[in-house]
Amino acid sequence: MNQLALQIDRADTLAALQAASARLDAMVPALHGSGVQAARIAELVSGLNAQLFARLWALLAPPDVVANSCLLVMGSEGRGEQILKTDQDNALLLRDGFAGPGLAALAARFNGVLADWGYPPCPGDIMLTNPLWRQPLAAFRETLRGWVYGQEGVVPVDGPMNLAIFYDAVAVAGDAALLQAARAQLDRLLIGQDSYVARFASAADQFAEPGGWLARLAVLVHVHREEPPLDIKKLGLFPLVHGARALALQYGLHEAGTAARLQGLAGLSRVDPALAADAVDALHRLMDLRLTQQLRLCAQGAAPGNQIEPADLSAFELGQLHAALASVKRWRAFLRQHFHLDAL
């Protein structure tokens, strides 16, 4: 691990940095095969990815651009929960008054190189190449205002989604004070906005659980039979991630990772410590199950996704899945009560 970090740090050409990126891909199945838990693998991978992105930015961007901007990663990468390479979610905050030439071309180069190295472009265009995600601080502050308050009282449909993406942002290169200033603006905008935060939180409860699924899953632990696949992200991970994000937003908690948010909320007595620990345990179990399934698919030459096939799981894994989804069910009940979601 230290050798790979050193290789990234010393890479002085794109070819050398690409070689380090390829080693990062090979590291995941090796760590998993050694029994390292998915949460720990995600922590290691996210740290190395952040280092790699920063080194790539240093190789591509002129020094004045690096000094007058803040390169962000967002989504699961920002939360430190990304393991296998998925869609890019990145942004660039610029210092007010800085007008470096060729920023659009630089953004295209950065996103293009990452795509060539196996980081797929974001289908929603949440990347540096999109001017929405490449703005001076003052303009981005107004963008945040629009996501919360809307234009003429109408909040844009994609406002809450964009806000969720941004709330997971971490700085990987440049002046991190720009991100801190944007976060401070968001904290100010959300003062007294409990109804907005409740609507924001409601997305955590949007995916209906299949009827009787938990009961059927408990039976599968003992009796093998065919069951349709389930989406472990929609039914398990997303309610945990977004619920913790909504609570962090409500209480101005700036931790990026879901587990850190849950632990921070418990420390502030905003969430019962036992419930928070239960949710963290479920998060880690689901991450382990998803990674195991994804690596199985990769070994078969198939694309990894979020679908879990019960027939592919051992009795132990089925038990883990049942316990995790039961925890998610309790977590969703808490969110419904806390945010009064049934009244929305």
Domain co-membership, 202 together with 306:
yes
Q: Classify residue 313 by its DSSP letter.
A: S
Burial letters for 65-88: b for 16+ Cβ neighbours within 10 Å, e otherwise?
bbebbbbbbbbbbbbbbbbbbebb
DSSP H/E element including 255: none
Q: How far apart are CA 243 and CA 247, in angstroms?
A: 6
The region, left, alpha or beta by phi > 0 then psi within -120 to 50, assigned to residue 75 is: left
> What local confidence, expressed as pLDDT, does residue 316 receive?
87
pLDDT, residue 2, reads: 79
Kindly give the residue spans of alpha helices, DSSP state H, lying in the chain: 2-10, 14-33, 38-60, 63-67, 75-79, 103-116, 137-149, 159-167, 177-189, 194-201, 213-220, 232, 238-251, 258-267, 273-299, 315-338
pTM score of the predicted model: 0.91
For residue 127, give the CATH number of its domain.
3.30.460.10
Which 3 state secondary structure label does DSSP give 80? coil
Does residue 41 sit in the same domain as residue 178?
yes
Whether 335 and 319 share a structural domain: yes
Helix (H, G, I), strand (E, B) or coil at 84: coil
Q: Which two tokens stand for residue 187?
A: 């904290």
Tens of each residue's pLDDT in the chain, 344 residues: 678 999 999 999 999 999 999 998 889 999 999 999 999 999 999 999 999 999 999 999 999 999 999 999 999 999 999 998 888 999 999 999 998 889 999 999 999 999 999 999 999 999 999 999 999 999 999 999 999 988 766 667 788 999 999 999 999 999 999 999 999 999 999 988 999 999 999 999 887 665 555 555 554 544 555 567 888 999 899 999 999 999 999 999 999 899 999 999 999 999 999 999 999 999 999 999 999 999 988 888 888 888 888 778 888 888 888 899 999 999 999 999 999 998 76
Helix axis angle, 273-299 relative to 315-338, nearest 10°? 130
Strands 90-94 and 134-136: parallel
151, 170, 189 - which closes a domain: 189
174 neighbors 82 (Cβ within 8 angstroms)? no
What are the φ and ψ backbone dihedral angles of 93, each rounded to 5 degrees?
-95, 135
Contact present, 173 and 65 (Cβ < 8 Å): no
The total of other beta-carbon atoms located within 10 Å of residue 2's CB is 6
CATH value at residue 266: 1.20.120
**205/161 same-domain check:** no
Residues 239 and 339 in one domain: yes
Structural domain count, the chain: 2
Q: What is the DSSP string of 118-168?
A: T-PPPTT--STTSGGGEEEHHHHHHHHHHHHH-BTTB--TTHHHHHHHHHT
- pLDDT at res. 241: 97
The answer to whether residues 157 and 291 belong to one domain is no
Domain extent for 244: 197-343
**Residue 173: enclosing H or E segment and its boundaries?**
strand 170-174
State the residue for tokens 């003052």.
Answer: 138
Among residues 189, 215, 237, the one where a domain terminates is 189
- Give 296's contacts (C-beta < 8 A, 6+ positions apart): 312
Predicted pLDDT at 222 = 47
Residue 213 has what pLDDT? 54
The rounded radius of gyration (Å) of the Cα atoms in the chain is 21
